[in-house]
Amino acid sequence: MTDLPTQPFGVLRQGEATTQHLLIIDDSPAIIQLIARMLHGVAGLSFATRGMQALAQMRAQAPDLVLLDAEMPSMSGFELCHLMKADPELREIPIIFVTGHGESDVEVRAFEAGAVDFITKPLNETVLLARVRTQLRIKRLTDELRRMATTDGLTGVSNRRHVDEVMQRECQRAARNGTSLAMLIVDVDHFKHYNDHYGHPAGDLCLQAVASALASVAHRPGDQVGRLGGEEFSLLLPETDLAGAIDVAESALRAVRTLALPHAASPSADHVTVSIGAASLPAPGAALHAASLLMNLADKALYQAKSNGRDRCEP
């Protein structure tokens, strides 16, 4: 970035996939350029000179940090901040206010609006760098903690806690919008024999392979693959009815068969298979405890799939 930005918004420096991304929102191209120079190499950088453009950019790709000019024409930084805090998708993005006023009431307003920090113009490079680095570090740690709290360590799919959380949310959404919601419970067949025959470390590898096979068939936005525990997985499928869920289950059965993992100790097949129980909402009596009912229905269906011979899905 050597020239003043001439467009109203854009990317100044594309970060690598692993680097963090910062959005500068300021009506002055000169300030944007100054900040970009001071933050050279610290993060991927984008800019916007208007609040509306900034909102569109953040919805397209959420930045890790926003530097927000308090005073802009048409939409002030405070107004933009309020809009972000009212939007569940943008609420968590940390905001550092940048303002020409050093008066304490502006500072108070910034924190009351939900900013994490505050910098005054004229900008001091050392102060800007220190505050930006601090916020990016907090953001990286927060992201990492959230990832650890929601994913299963062995397989990388959602853990049980996150499955329950997303189930509650999706059940409420399905009831509110009158849409269907399906759940599959997937259980590896004769997995105790597998461990006994091949050893526990091989069993772990098998679970990882099954998890990726499941992830490969649950690819619609909003689909969630989770590990309920042991050798039991869940697929939560929003806006999917029972027939649609059974289609996904058939693909899952195929995907696991296609892994072609030998299972010499299985009484029912010579390779690793899974059994699947399917259930969907709306279901009779589901109004109050929809999430646990859906889980129970899928669990009963799984039991049927086991007793009907395994390597199959039952509703």
**Does 267 participate in binding ligand GH3 (rule CB under 6 A)?**
no
d(C-alpha 226, C-alpha 4), whole Å: 48
Binds 69: which of Mg ion, ligand GH3, none (CB < 5-8 Å by kind): Mg ion
**Does 69 participate in binding ligand GH3 (rule CB under 6 A)?**
no
Q: State the binding string over 213-232 for ligand GH3 (x if CB under 6 A, else -).
A: -----------------xx-
Query: What does each C-alpha distance from 147 to 61, 71, 153, 156 come to in angstroms?
Result: 18, 36, 10, 10
Which residue out of 231, 232, 239, 314 is catalytically annotated?
231
Residues forming beta bridges with residue 65, ordered by sequence position: 22
Residues forming beta bridges with residue 158, ordered by sequence position: 151, 226
Q: 231 catalytic, yes or no?
A: yes
Q: How far is the CB of 273 from ligand GH3 (least distance, A)?
A: 9
d(C-alpha 66, C-alpha 88), whole Å: 16
AA letter at 126: T
Q: How far is the CB of 309 from ligand GH3 (least distance, A)?
A: 11
Nearer to Mg ion, 28 or 212 (CB): 28
Identify which of 238, 242, 229 has the alpha carbon closest to the alpha carbon of residue 186.
229
**Does 188 participate in binding ligand GH3 (rule CB under 6 A)?**
yes
Nearer to ligand GH3, 70 or 298 (CB): 298
Binds 125: which of ligand GH3, Mg ion, none (CB < 5-8 Å by kind): none
Nearer to ligand GH3, 118 or 233 (CB): 233
Nearer to ligand GH3, 33 or 158 (CB): 158
Binds 200: which of Mg ion, ligand GH3, none (CB < 5-8 Å by kind): ligand GH3
Quick check: helix, strand or coil at residue 161? helix
- Please list, residue by residue across 74-107, b when 16 or more beta carbons sit within 10 angstroms of its beta carbon and e when fewer do: ebebbebbeebbeeeebeebbbbbbbeeeeeebb
Catalytic residues: 231
